[in-house]
Chains A and B, each alone.
Chain A
Amino acid sequence: MEPDDDLQLHELLREWEAPNAPPSLEARVLGRRVAWWRFLLTGQIRVPVPVGLAAAAALIAMGVVVARDRGRGAVQPPPPETARAIFNLKDFQPVQNARVRVIRSGYANQ
């Protein structure tokens, strides 16, 4: 390959000029350098829509499960008065005239 060929190609290629970095790049780079602890407080992340929807659905499902478990594990309320009255023993009295009758086994066989 002739050196002139390379030179000609080089000159032709140089006709394609690329722009320098835009000013917005400086803000994006120098403005985004934050310490990790500051990022935890003020940082933002972009989340794809499907991931966001899945995370929201998972949170809702967890909330439902937790609420249901709380309902099951809660202390039962005391029974109402009517129910307690059924088991009230205040009218229970001992037998007044108890007649003891002894049944022997021989008699039973007759």
Chain B
Amino acid sequence: MTDPEFRSAFHGHKDVLYRFAYRMTGSEAAAEDVVQDCFLALWRNPAAYDPDRGTLRAFLLGVTRNLLLKRWRRERPHDALEDDASLCPPADLEGRERAGQVARAVQMLPPLQREAVILAEFEELPLEEIARATGADLAAVKSRLHRARRNLRRWLAPLLETKGTTYGT
């Protein structure tokens, strides 16, 4: 990979990677560290990216995602990545700013559901690209998205109700 190619890749994908890492971690510093490590990994081993297997964006999202999960496992070695025990009553969100409530609800999701919902809802990636980035098959991505949306509807019910729809338990 030449220097101009690397610069182009950096400028073309830094924001999507940073937003993804930021939404996954909730921390600007952590997001910056992870995205930096992702691009340095690309610089050191550009041959790891095979254009036949998907877009560069999906590849970089996959690298970022692996770094995030590694970080997650280091910080919380006993927490499951995909855990549906988080089906709890709606959080007490009263008195908080709406965007903050959404952020908090997304960050309460188990990591595999969270990455799926971030890439689908916020970055609006097609399901196939999400599957490539997360190393999962399409059915698994759909299942994670379904569970993530179900959890979010439950947790954010007070906010959704104000828009005219009531979500039961």
Task: Answer yes or no: are A and B bound together in one complex.
Answer: yes
Task: Tell whether, in the assembled complex, residue B32 and residue A25 are in contact, meaning their CB atoms are under 8 Å apart.
Answer: yes
Task: Tell whether, in the assembled complex, residue A18 and residue B40 are in contact, meaning their CB atoms are under 8 Å apart.
Answer: no
| Residue ranges of B at the interface with A (Cβ–Cβ < 8 Å) | 6-7, 10, 14-15, 17-19, 22-23, 28, 32, 35-36, 39-40, 43, 98-100, 102-103, 106, 117, 121-122, 149, 152-153, 156, 159-160, 163, 165, 167
Q: How many A-B residue pairs have CB under 8 A?
A: 86
Interface residues of A in 15-54 (CB under 8 A from B): 15-22, 24-26, 28-30, 32-33
Instruction: Give B146's nearest chain A residue, CB to CB.
Output: A1
Task: Tell whether, in the assembled complex, residue B35 and residue A14 are in contact, meaning their CB atoms are under 8 Å apart.
Answer: no
Task: Tell whether, in the assembled complex, residue B10 and residue A26 are in contact, meaning their CB atoms are under 8 Å apart.
Answer: yes
Interface of B is mostly: helix
Interface residues of A in 35-94 (CB under 8 A from B): none
Q: Known: A17-B99, A25-B18. Contact between A9 and B156, CB under 8 A?
A: yes
Q: How far is the CA of A30 from the CA of B102 in the complex (A)?
A: 33
Q: How far is the CA of A17 from the CA of B121 in the complex (A)?
A: 12
Q: Known: A13-B121, A24-B32, A26-B10. Contact between A32 and B160, CB under 8 A?
A: no
What are 17 A-B contacts with C-beta separation under 8 Å?
Answer: A4-B165, A9-B153, A9-B160, A10-B121, A12-B98, A12-B159, A12-B163, A13-B102, A13-B106, A17-B99, A19-B28, A20-B14, A21-B14, A21-B32, A25-B36, A29-B40, A32-B36
- Point out the residues of chain B lying under 8 angstroms from A26, CB to CB: 10, 14
| Residue ranges of A at the interface with B (Cβ–Cβ < 8 Å) | 1, 4-6, 8-10, 12-22, 24-26, 28-30, 32-33
